[in-house]
Amino acid sequence: MKPQFSIVGPVYNEEVLIPQFYERVRDVMNALGEPWEVVLVDDGSTDRTPEILDELHAQDPAHVVVLHFARNFGHQLAITAGMDHARGAAVIAIDTDLQDPPEVIPELIAKWREGYAVVYAVRVEREGETWFKLTTARLFYQLIQQLTSVTIPMEAGDFRLLDRQVIEVLCQMREQHRFVRAMVSWVGFRQVGVPYHRYARAAGETKYSFPKMFRLALDAITGFSSLPLKLATWAGTVATASGLLLALALLILRLQGKAPLAGQGLTASLVLFVGGIQLWMGGILGEYVGRIYDEVRHRPLYTVGEILRIEESKTGR
């Protein structure tokens, strides 16, 4: 039977938490009394996660779908694969480390029934996050708001419900560098937030190191704004204008018989200043060109080693 609801959970080295996650999702979903499935995407885990997922599928084949990636592709691609393989009329993406409580899912579904196509969960409180993570996250959201034309609700992560209509559009957006939150906002439709309490990770460690967060931020900015490319024009204007003004000032001083600003110090600082701007612009160009290169190769977004799903086993795969 085709499920009404699909829960999509990215899983990377969550051996301690994944059985609990499944049990809590199962209890919540069974209470709703409609057909459901949970699509667990194993993002190349190196601990016992793959075996545990296989056991969960063996225990409850009617509900548990498992995708094993051939290697680690990252959180955003794991969510993408889950959405590609979900069949529900509504798809709910949720972290599997129990920071997002599955008990909130019925509230998201209630809003969906009211006619909203996207229901995102908004963190009213965040437990167990470092000061550094909270500050960088806030700065990042402010930057995105300034630089791009999409509005990503503050304090909304990837925990959200998406209607089939939205999923169909997302499945057509095959960009390599993905920031799913902004893509969802780009799609449009009626969107609404539901407040929730985000808990501290129940066990294990965050898999989002600072370099990973930095890359995600870069993907978000380059994916939705070309403003950084235009910085070159502004920086060039400022540098040229300063150069002209300086030359003029030197000329006037010379005509007045005063000693002009001279010396290697001034020259060196000018060279460094302009050289620095040029290198920065080269770097920004590189970020975009690199992404264009990734797109034109048209590689698949991820490689799936194995899919465990009840139909496939029935057809004797």
**CB half-sphere exposure, 123, CA atoms < 13 A:** 20
Which of the listed partners (ligand UDP, Mg ion, none) does 228 bind, with a CB threshold of 5 to 8 Å by partner kind?
A: none
In whole angstroms, give the CA distance from residue 253 to residue 266: 16
Residues 6+ away with beta carbon under 8 Å from 113: none
- Which one of Mg ion, ligand UDP, none interacts with residue 189, CB within 5 to 8 A by kind? none
Q: Is there binding between residue 100 and Mg ion (CB under 5 A)?
A: no
Report residue 317 as tokens: 């795969």
Would you count residue 158 as binding Mg ion (CB under 5 A)? no
Stretch that binds Mg ion, among 34-42, 99-107, 117-125, 132-140 (CB under 5 A): 99-107
Among 96-104, 159-167, 212-220, 235-243, the segment contacting Mg ion (CB under 5 A)? 96-104
* Residue 80 CA: distances (Å) to CA of 135, 136, 158: 27, 25, 11
Minimal distance, residue 238 CB to ligand UDP, in Å:
38
Question: Taking phi first (over 0 means left), then psi (-120 to 50 degrees means alpha), and beta for anything else, what does residue 309 get?
Answer: beta
| Residue 11 interacting partner from ligand UDP, Mg ion, none (CB closer than 5 to 8 Å by kind) | ligand UDP
CB of 302 to ligand UDP, least distance (A): 11
Decide whether 117 or 162 has the Cβ nearer to ligand UDP: 162
99 scored as a contact of Mg ion (CB under 5 A): yes
Rule CB under 5 A: say whether 97 interacts with Mg ion.
Answer: yes
- The residue among 63 and 123 lying less far from ligand UDP, judged by its C-beta, is 123
Residues that bind ligand UDP (CB under 6 A): 10-12, 14, 43, 72, 74-75, 78, 95-97, 99, 206-208
Taking the complex as a whole, the smallest distance from the CB of residue 211 to ligand UDP amounts, in Å, to: 12
- Cα separations in angstroms, 62 against 2, 308, 313, 317: 11, 11, 11, 16
Q: Residue 240 is encoded by which pair of tokens? A: 């040229």
Integer Cα distance of 220 and 180 in angstroms: 9
Name the one residue in this structure whose structure tokens are 């019925």: 106
Among 164, 30, 43, 47, residue whose Cα is nearest residue 103: 30
* Residue 186 near which of Mg ion, ligand UDP, none (CB within 5-8 Å, type-dependent): none
Write out the residues near Mg ion by the rule CB under 5 A: 97, 99
